Amino acid sequence: MQIEKDHVVTLHYTVKTSDGDVIDSSREAEPLAFLQGSHFMIEGIEEALFGKKKGDIFALDLDPDKAYGQRHDDLVQEVPSAMFEGMDVEVGMSFRATTDDGEQSVIIIDKTDDTVTVDGNHPLSGMSLAFNIEVVDVREATEDEIAHGHVHADGGCGHSH
Say if 1 falls within a structural domain: no
CA dist 116 and 85 (Å) reads 11
Rounded CA-CA distance 153/141 in Å is 11
pTM exceeds 0.85 for this model: no
Assess whether pLDDT exceeds 70 at residue 160: no
Statement to judge: residues 35 and 105 lie in one domain: no
Domain count, the chain: 2
Give the whole-angstrom CA distance, residue 23 versus residue 1.
30
Instruction: Taking the CA atoms of 155, 157, 158 and 161 in sequence, report the sign of the dihedral they define.
Output: negative
Which pLDDT score, from 0 to 100, does residue 156 have? 47
Q: Are residues 134 and 62 in the same domain?
A: yes
Full domain range(s) for residue 98: 73-119
pLDDT digits (tens, 9 = 90+) for 43-99: 999 999 999 999 999 999 999 999 999 999 999 999 999 988 888 899 999 988 777
**CATH code of the domain in which 17 resides:** 3.10.50.40
Predicted pLDDT at 153? 76
8-state DSSP, 83:
G
- Assess whether 21 and 57 both reside in one domain: yes
Residue 39 sits in the same domain as residue 61: yes
